[in-house]
A and B are shown apart, each in its own frame.
Chain A
């Protein structure tokens, strides 16, 4: 079974530029998550989708971050414009359903460096 795919793996941009990340979840997984992991910290949930609807985006900085999952499969996360503090690894995860204890499978992440 293929895992969660993410691209690109690395991205370096200058502040105020825009950037987009792509995620393809495990086939059949209805729930998709985007996490931000700053160096030395645990992942922090940015947004959760159930199929193509948003379940939780309470920690997404909506003035600069946006995410979509138009067809309920793959998803993109965009930052526009980027700030220095956005430097982090952006992890995508998926699960069959958002049930208590349902396993979330993580992709390898995209490491973003903002200069």
Chain B
């Protein structure tokens, strides 16, 4: 089946640093989504990307939909302690809205 490979698995950074994580797939997706999950909560949508090459920002977050439609990256600038959590990429195909999730990147921010 379709799989997404997300890297890195975990990151430990200092407050104020920039962060970059990415997601790759052997399959093409028509939509890429980035979610954040806090402990004990469900994932919350951060950014949605709908077109190959699209670059979208949401505050300090920037994400891009790869040209090949097989990858995406998420950047967080000037990290703060509340950025701590697990970030998931997810790919969406046209078949009824089925989301395929990556394994997640766990972000830790040291004040």
Interface, chain A (partner B; CB < 8 A): 4, 31, 40-45, 48, 55-56, 91, 93, 95, 98-109
Chain A residues, CB < 8 A from B97 = 31, 48, 95, 98-100, 102, 104
Interface of B: prevailing SS: loop
Smallest CB–CB gap between A17 and chain B, Å? 24
Chain B residues, CB < 8 A from A91 = 42-43
Number of B residues with CB within 8 Å of any CB on chain A: 24
Smallest CB–CB gap between B37 and chain A, Å? 8
* In contact, A93 and B42 (Cβ under 8 angstroms): yes
- Choose among B40, B44, B45, B92 the residue that contacts A100 (Cβ–Cβ < 8 A): B92
Interface, chain B (partner A; CB < 8 A): 4, 6, 30-31, 40-45, 48, 50, 88, 90, 92, 94, 96-99, 101-104
Closest 3 CB pairs of A and B: A106-B42, A42-B101, A98-B97
* In contact, A45 and B99 (Cβ under 8 angstroms): yes
* In contact, B102 and A101 (Cβ under 8 angstroms): no
Whole-angstrom CA separation of A85 from B104 in the bound complex: 20
Known contacts A101-B31, A101-B50, A101-B92, A45 near B42 by CB under 8 Å: no
